[in-house]
């Protein structure tokens, strides 16, 4: 069966909001066995929405629509869908009662315009919204089913998983299981990954294998299908084992795991503590680590020593070092890592120093030059990196590289 995703909202066209709903729905619809034809984002315009609906309805069995179900005048999805299907809007009393209850619970007066969120096209099936005021709905237009949900991600996901998924399974009568897993890697290019595992990436292969890049992370996607969960899992596990054997320790985690999750896992397994000293990353390494729940068991402290004076005062970096090799050097990164480890009492530590730009670079030390060091009780290792891009990207890549160096150091040692 063929499906389309239609995202409604002028704000999506201004580049200020990322449409995470479309990515989520694409993944779920593919898992349900739908052949996804397109994803289209249109502004809050009746004419544009009618055009998009006509195009999608001509070629697909299902259109999943998000956005435009709010109470304001620019929210026109429900009105346009009803008009497109040739039916009037009717008040759905249970939905209105739900809206009133939400406002009463918050002790807020309900504006009269919120009543529109309980108006449903005649003949449509209401999709309850447990997390918000806008009810969703599903209705048929000829052979095509249209499912409309709010654009708020938390509301849409709850409605999709609570009502839409079971509904689609019942409608399609689809048998069999599809399982997806991502293997996340750092420190390798997408082209090199493709070169190493291209024999697993034939379009008609089961499991199907592909790659994607996001924020410097290379993810290998594995889609496995089978008549049962056990069969699909067996196929997926076999392909995952082969990919891990080929790519080795560049793989740090699966699915939504970031490098910091792998670091936290290794710290826990080894019973070790960590501290960080940062200059050009401005605390971003510590920020990423503290995004991991219960990291307080292993993360002792983070020091942002931006000036040379701070590096000396807080971390004990020798002043003479700045006039010889400079603050952006392997020696400075090593001294920062050693200093924060010794002063915090941690088992392992990281030091980061570099030039994030866009100014401050020289021919000898250009923007994007970064030195990262990992210090343990046995040794200190420093590496040079060259990153490209704007300031925020250089900072992010530097933080990820620091965490990855720490991960590899932890993976290769017993007790530092």
Residue holding tokens 């990954």? 193
With respect to residue 359, please indicate whether it lies within any of the assigned structural domains.
Answer: yes
Residues 13 and 161 in one domain: yes
Banded model confidence at residue 227, pLDDT cuts 50, 70, 90: confident
Residues 247 and 300 in one domain: no
Banded model confidence at residue 214, pLDDT cuts 50, 70, 90: confident
With respect to residue 250, please indicate whether it lies within any of the assigned structural domains.
Answer: yes
Count the neighbouring beta carbons within 10 Å of the beta carbon of residue 2. Answer: 15
How far, in whole angstroms, is CA 205 from its chain's centroid? 27
Mention every residue, 6+ apart, whose C-beta is less than 8 A from residue 395: 280, 281, 282, 284, 356
pLDDT of 176 strictly over 80: no
Q: Given this model, what pLDDT does residue 31 score? A: 78
With respect to residue 366, please indicate whether it lies within any of the assigned structural domains.
Answer: yes
Q: What is the mean pLDDT of residues 349-356?
A: 98
With respect to residue 108, please indicate whether it lies within any of the assigned structural domains.
Answer: yes
Q: Given this model, what pLDDT does residue 416 score? A: 43
Q: Given this model, what pLDDT does residue 415 score? A: 42
Residues 196 and 272 in one domain: no
Instruction: Indicate the helix (H) or strand (E) that contains 286.
Output: helix 284-289
Domain harbouring 204, CATH code? 3.30.70.2860
The answer to whether the Cα torsion of 168, 56, 153, 100 is positive or negative is negative
Q: What is the mean pLDDT of residues 70-90?
A: 95
Rounded to whole angstroms, how far apart are CA atoms 227 and 238? 17
pLDDT tens-digit map of 279-295 = 999 999 999 999 999 99
First to last CA, the chain: 56
Contact status, residue 303 vs residue 314, Cβ threshold 8 Å = yes
Exposed / middle / buried, residue 385 (Cβ in 10 Å: 0-12, 13-18, 19+): middle
Banded model confidence at residue 414, pLDDT cuts 50, 70, 90: very low
Instruction: Indicate the helix (H) or strand (E) that contains 35.
Output: strand 35-42
- At 164, list the tokens: 């839409």
With respect to residue 240, please indicate whether it lies within any of the assigned structural domains.
Answer: yes
Between 73 and 177, residue with greater pLDDT: 73
Q: Given this model, what pLDDT does residue 1 score? A: 86
SS (HEC) of 306-372: CCHHHHHHHHCCCHHHHHHCCCCCHHHHHHHHHHHHHHHCCCEEEEEEECCCCCCCCCCCCCCEEEE
Among 17-31, 252-266, 367-381, the range scoring the smallest mean pLDDT is: 17-31
Q: Given this model, what pLDDT does residue 14 score? A: 87
Rounded to whole angstroms, how far apart are CA atoms 263 and 403? 7
Q: Given this model, what pLDDT does residue 173 score? A: 67
Among 151-165, 218-232, 284-298, the range scoring the smallest mean pLDDT is: 218-232
Between 333 and 15, residue with greater pLDDT: 333
Banded model confidence at residue 16, pLDDT cuts 50, 70, 90: confident
Domain harbouring 23, CATH code? 3.40.980.10
Rounded to whole angstroms, how far apart are CA atoms 68 and 79? 10
Residue 129, phi-psi category: left (phi > 0), alpha (psi -120 to 50), beta (remainder)? beta
Residues 190 and 105 in one domain: no
pLDDT of 65 strictly over 90: yes
Rounded to whole angstroms, how far apart are CA atoms 181 and 56? 29
Banded model confidence at residue 328, pLDDT cuts 50, 70, 90: very high
Among 67-76, 169-178, 291-300, 308-317, the range scoring the smallest mean pLDDT is: 169-178
Residues 57 and 130 in one domain: yes
Rounded to whole angstroms, how far apart are CA atoms 83 and 268? 58
Q: Given this model, what pLDDT does residue 172 score? A: 73
Residues 34 and 72 in one domain: yes
Last residue of a domain, one of 172, 197, 215: 172
SS3 4: strand
Structural domain of residue 234, as residue ranges?
Answer: 177-254
Banded model confidence at residue 175, pLDDT cuts 50, 70, 90: low
Last residue of a domain, one of 232, 254, 276: 254
Residues 42 and 63 in one domain: yes
Q: Given this model, what pLDDT does residue 91 score? A: 96
With respect to residue 307, please indicate whether it lies within any of the assigned structural domains.
Answer: yes
- Using alpha carbons, list the distances in angstroms from residue 340 to 152, 260, 278, 344, 354: 43, 19, 10, 6, 17
Per-position b or e across 194-207, b if 16+ CB within 10 A of its CB = eeebeebeeeeeeb
Between 106 and 363, residue with greater pLDDT: 363
With respect to residue 331, please indicate whether it lies within any of the assigned structural domains.
Answer: yes
Contact status, residue 115 vs residue 96, Cβ threshold 8 Å = yes
Q: Given this model, what pLDDT does residue 201 score? A: 95
Q: Given this model, what pLDDT does residue 413 score? A: 52
Residues 116 and 21 in one domain: yes
pTM over 0.85: no
With respect to residue 416, please indicate whether it lies within any of the assigned structural domains.
Answer: no
pLDDT of 204 strictly over 60: yes
pLDDT tens-digit map of 369-407 = 999 999 999 999 999 999 999 999 999 999 999 999 999
Contact status, residue 255 vs residue 182, Cβ threshold 8 Å = yes
Residues 8 and 136 in one domain: yes
- What is the overall mean pLDDT for the chain? 94
Return the biggest CA–CA distance within the chain.
80
Rounded to whole angstroms, how far apart are CA atoms 40 and 67? 12
Q: Could you give the strand order of the β-sheet that contains 348-354, starting from the edge strand earlier in sequence?
A: 299-304, 274-278, 348-354, 369-376, 380-386
Among 11-15, 31-35, 141-145, the range scoring the smallest mean pLDDT is: 31-35
Q: Given this model, what pLDDT does residue 174 score? A: 60
């Amino acid at each position: 069966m063929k499906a389309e995703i239609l995202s409604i909202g002028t704000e999506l066209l201004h580049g200020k909001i990322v449409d995470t709903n479309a990515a989520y729905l694409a993944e779920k619809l593919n898992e349900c066995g739908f052949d996804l034809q397109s994803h289209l984002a249109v502004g809050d315009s009746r004419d544009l929405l009618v055009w998009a609906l006509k195009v999608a309805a001509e070629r697909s069995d299902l259109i999943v629509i998000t956005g435009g179900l709010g109470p304001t005048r620019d929210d026109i999805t429900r009105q346009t869908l009803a008009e497109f299907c040739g039916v009037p809007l009717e008040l759905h009393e249970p939905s209105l009662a739900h809206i009133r209850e939400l406002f009463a619970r918050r002790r807020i007066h309900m504006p009269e315009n919120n009543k529109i969120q309980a108006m449903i096209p005649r003949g449509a099936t209401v999709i309850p919204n447990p997390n918000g005021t806008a009810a969703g709905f599903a209705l048929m237009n000829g052979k095509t089913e249209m499912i409309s949900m709010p654009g708020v991600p938390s509301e849409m996901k709850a409605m999709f998983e609570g009502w839409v998924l079971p509904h689609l399974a019942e409608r399609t009568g689809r048998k069999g299981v599809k399982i997806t897993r991502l293997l996340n890697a750092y420190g390798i290019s997408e082209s090199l990954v493709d070169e190493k595992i291209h024999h697993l990436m034939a379009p008609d292969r089961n499991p199907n294998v592909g790659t994607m890049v996001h924020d410097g992370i290379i993810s290998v996607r594995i889609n496995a299908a089978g008549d049962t969960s056990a069969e699909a899992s067996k196929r997926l596990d076999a392909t995952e084992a082969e990919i891990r054997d080929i790519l080795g320790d560049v793989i740090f985690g699966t699915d939504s795991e970031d490098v910091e999750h792998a670091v936290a896992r290794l710290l826990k397994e080894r019973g070790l503590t960590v501290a960080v000293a940062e200059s050009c990353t401005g605390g971003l390494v510590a920020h990423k680590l503290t995004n991991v729940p219960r990291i307080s068991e292993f993360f002792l402290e983070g020091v942002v020593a931006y000036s040379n004076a701070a590096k000396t005062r807080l971390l004990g970096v020798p002043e003479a070092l700045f006039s010889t090799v400079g603050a952006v050097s392997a020696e400075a990164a090593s001294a920062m890592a050693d200093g924060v480890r010794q002063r915090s009492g941690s088992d392992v530590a990281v030091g980061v120093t570099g030039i994030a730009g866009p100014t401050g670079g020289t021919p000898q030390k250009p923007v994007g030059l970064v030195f990262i060091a990992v210090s343990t009780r046995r040794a200190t290792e420093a590496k040079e990196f060259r990153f490209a891009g704007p300031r925020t990207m250089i900072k992010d890549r530097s933080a990820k590289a620091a965490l990855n160096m720490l991960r590899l150091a932890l993976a290769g040692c017993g007790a530092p």
